[in-house]
Amino acid sequence: MKSLAAAILVIVAIATAGAGWFAPYPESEQDRLHALESPSRAHLLGTDEYGRDQFSRLLYGGRLPLAAGLAATALTLAIALCLGTLAGFYSGWIDRALMRFAELFLALPWLYLLLAVRAMLPLSLSPGAAFLMLIAVVGIAGWARPARLIRGVVLSAKERPYVFVARSLGASEGYLIMRHILPETYGILLAQATILMPQYILADVTLSFLGLGAGEPAATWGGMLATVRHIHILESHWGMLAPLLVLAPVFASFHVLGRGRK
């Protein structure tokens, strides 16, 4: 199952990254004479209300959420690794201060925080600005839980006999952390990555669905799903649900990969 899940994620990543090669039409090309067409040979998933090819926009639309999810996850884990290692290795007042700080972040509803930050910005936010905003807010707000897990691992690792031996032989703190402590945290980092990344992808999709993410004419999965709010379109054009055909297996694949790593 895990090999299948990994294969699905690789295929989705390659398809979206290579959208310029795989998509039969440019993401914003309009053909008003063929608006809201059903799936056909010319348009595998039909067209939207502007005559844009749904399959092409599906490929292009995955770039922003997948890239934002990956970047925000990397930022979260980088912060968590630094602060969790500091708290666990040095203990004392550093540990107490950082863990109280972490509790503050755990109490923050980061999705509402993201919506609040977005509300303060102009509605006509460029895709690049929306990308950076999402990374900054969720990446910084989500570090607390993985940091606490990393702290626990570090507290255990620094008591191992080989760490005492290395310390008695004159090993520096930096050497102990890099050589003996950090390798013990890699399993936690991988497990947290499989949990955080789908959450952050969903955050981008939610923003775009609500009209607060990257605006038109940029293709986003959330923006494509927003069209489905009009029930008369959904009844006749199931191709509008195309992003769900990708999101469901992507989320399921992350769940399968994360199972057993927790």
Segment 125-148 mean pLDDT: 87
Segment 162-183 mean pLDDT: 91
Q: Mean pLDDT of all residues in the chain? A: 88
Is 24 part of any domain? no
Is 177 part of any domain? yes
- The residue segments making up the domain with residue 58 are 2-17+41-258
Is 30 part of any domain? no
Residue 197, domain CATH: 1.10.3720.10
Write the pLDDT tens digit of every residue in 110-126: 778 888 887 777 767 77
Is 231 part of any domain? yes
Q: Does residue 245 or residue 151 have the better pLDDT?
A: 151
**How many structural domains compose the chain?**
1
Is 159 part of any domain? yes
Q: Residue 129: which pLDDT band, with cuts at 50, 70 and 90? A: confident
* ∠ Cα 9 50 38 (to 5°): 65
Cα dihedral 53, 54, 56, 61 sign: positive
Give the whole-angstrom CA distance, residue 249 versus residue 217. 26
Distance set, CA 95 to CA 17, 88, 111, 143, 180 (Å): 41, 6, 27, 15, 20
Q: Residue 261: which pLDDT band, with cuts at 50, 70 and 90? A: low
Give the whole-angstrom CA distance, residue 117 versus residue 111. 10
DSSP string, 209-226: HTT-SS-TTS--HHHHHH
pLDDT above 80 (res 13): yes
Write the pLDDT tens digit of every residue in 47-94: 888 889 999 999 999 999 999 999 999 999 999 999 999 999 998 999
Q: Residue 260: which pLDDT band, with cuts at 50, 70 and 90? A: low
Is 29 part of any domain? no
Write the pLDDT tens digit of every residue in 194-239: 999 999 999 889 888 887 777 777 888 988 888 777 666 666 677 7
Is 191 part of any domain? yes
Is 35 part of any domain? no
